[in-house]
Structure 1
Amino acid sequence: MCYHYSLTKKQEQVMKLIAAEWELPYEPVYHANGFTFPTMPVITSQEPGTVQAYNWGLIPHWTASLADAQKLRAQTLNARNDTIFEKPAFRSYIPKRRCLVLADGFFEWMEYQKKKYPHYVQAQDEGLFGFAGIYSHWTEPETGELFRTFAIITTDANPLMARIHNTKQRMPVILPPAAWTEWLQPELPKERIQELLHPCPDAYLRAHTVDRSLGRPGADTNHEDTVKHVAYPELDSPEQFSLFHD
């Protein structure tokens, strides 16, 4: 799945790549942990010319209370491509309320000899990602506060990600820049939406291991060192080499 990602580029760098106005300024994020429900930049189908601030963890419009919303959003960080048209929490949003989640890397864990090793995954050119997402607007009944939230869509892992995320073998849907405008079109047919929800090519990505502090509760991981390479000699064993080079 995808519960951790980054947007390390400065706002000025992203603005050169995306012809859109920005609702609010933002600072680079080296580690967005979904379970803290961070506010992150997205572009929605309703306002494709604006980068807006939305909270990760989709709250469906039919949620009854804030207590229910707080319970539910930990389960709606991701939406599976194979059930997104069926699950009650997501099926209302995939037809017309799709969004691009801006990112330039994500984190996933490999399990090896009963230990977990975090990896940082980027584009080969370290360029910008457009994760496929869906979004919702929910108003808290008692206070009238508006919550703008999103979920990242996941798909089957490509070969590289299957070796890294070797327990669940999933990955986020990464849309090529040529598909960004199409993805945001509200009237996109269901058949075309499904065609876009596939894994990106292996050759598009590269990955390296990072420090285990990434998964440590309470650790400050929103800094540059989080995405730096950390070597684990045991992963250079002949057994591990064969997994990546067979």
Structure 2
Amino acid sequence: MCYDIKANLETQLKRARQRGDASAVEEIMERLIPYTDLPIYHASGFSHPELLIYTDESPDFPTVATWGLVPHWVKDDAGVRKIWNNTLNARGETIFEKPSFRYAAEHNRCLIYLDGFYEHHHYGKNTYPYFIYRKDGKPIVLAGLWSEWRHDNGGIMNTFTIVTTEGNPMMARIHNNPKLKGPRMPLILTEEEEDKWLAPINDDLDETAVKELIRPFPEEELASHTVAKLRGKEYAGNVEEISEEVVYPELNTLFN
């Protein structure tokens, strides 16, 4: 699963900057960033933060979107509030089957650039949050689905979900919630896979090519450490130091 993220401004601008178009980046800063919640040092998907996504329709210039996919067939605001807590993640194995995700899987895929994500480990009667990130310091690029939803007043809201897959061995050690079925992790793409995820689907072969991208990211390319509590009275909020390492002696050498 992936319900907690970190996304700095520079990380979110990474793909746009690769074009070398200074005027485009300036436009993003002036026109889009004020409508986001960036920088996000920690945000829960259940707070439905606004951030940038890169869609198949605009792969180099981002769109502001709300976390929690709202399918186009949702009728009203009440329907939005009812569904979007259940569409923060989409299981990659079934995105072409589930009614909430099928259309987006076929037509509306996107990329989400993050510094990393947080996951909780269960040990004894307590939970301990871990921050997971790339060892090489590069952004984590997640596969996502997006949807354009129209309010009754004609306004448009772009929303997205993070696609998940089976957890790699590191995530299996961390993501051990006994109430959930199997370890999961967000679908992290390599640089070579990013454009493949955004490529249009015109036939069964194209769909198969997208499905083949849905697999765990190598654990040897990721690092993790425990951080301060992300829930309850001890939670410090969306502050820069929230992703810094905090040692819990009771965990001892659990992952060493």
Is the contact between residue 42 and residue 100 of structure 1 (CA under 8 Å) also seen in structure 2? yes
Same amino acid, percent of matched pairs = 37
For 2:48, which of 37, 54, 77 is the aligned residue?
37
CA deviations 1:77-135 (Å, max 9, x no partner) are 00001111111000011012100011110000000012100000000022111100000
Q: Please state if 1:224 is matched with 2:240.
A: yes
Q: Is 2:165 aligned against 1:155? A: yes
AA of the residue aligned to 2:157? F
- Distance in 1 separating the partners of 2:17 and 2:57: 20
The alignment yields a C-alpha RMSD, in angstroms, of: 2.0
Q: Any conservation in 1 of the 2:53–2:110 contact (CA below 8 Å)?
A: yes
CA distance in 2, matches of 1:2, 1:185: 24
Tell me by how many angstroms 1:180 deviates. Answer: 1.1
CA-CA distance at 1:218 after TM superposition: 9.6
Cα 1:90/1:218, change in 2 over 3 Å? farther
User: Could you say which residue in structure 1 is the equivalent of 2:111?
Assistant: 100
SS of the aligned residue for 1:151 comes to strand
CA distance in 2, matches of 1:41, 1:153: 16
Q: Which residue of 2 aligns with 1:199?
A: 216
Q: Secondary structure at the match of 1:92?
A: helix
Q: Hey, what does 2:197 align to over in structure 1?
A: 183
Residue 215, structure 1, aligned to residue 231, structure 2: yes
Asked if the contact 1:9/1:104 (under 8 Å) is kept, the reply is no
Q: In the aligned structure 2, how far is the partner of 1:36 from the partner of 1:12?
A: 19
> Given that residues 56 and 151 in structure 1 are in contact (C-alpha distance below 8 angstroms), is that contact kept between their aligned partners in structure 2?
yes
SS of residue matched to 2:103? coil
Task: Say whether the 8 Å CA contact 1:11–1:28 is kept in structure 2.
Answer: no
Change in 2 beyond 3 A, CA 1:11/1:87: closer
* Superimposed CA distance per residue, residues 33-82 of structure 1 (whole angstroms, 9 cap, x where no aligned partner): 10011101110001112112110000000001100111100000000011
Structure 2 spans left out of the alignment, 5+ residues:
none
SS at match of 2:90: strand
- Structure 1: unaligned runs, 5 residues or longer: none
CA displacement 1:187-217 (0-9 Å, x = unmatched): 37111111101110010100000001x1227
Q: CA deviation at 1:14?
A: 2.6
Aligned pair 1:58/2:75, yes or no?
A: no
| Contact 2:76-2:151 within 8 A present in 1 as well | yes
Which residue does the alignment assign to 1:10? 10
Q: Name the CA shift for 1:17/1:126 in 2 (closer, same or farther; >3 Å).
A: farther
Verify the 8 A CA contact 2:133 2:222 in the aligned structure 1.
yes
Contact 2:12/2:114 (<8 A) preserved: no
Residue 15 (structure 1) shift: 5.8
SS at match of 1:94: helix
CA contact (8 A) 1:94 1:134 kept: yes
Shifted more, 64-73 versus 16-25: the winner is 16-25
Q: Map 1:109-120 to 2 at 5 A.
A: 109-120=120-131
Q: 1: distance between equivalents of 2:222 and 2:188? A: 10
Look up the match of 1:85: 96
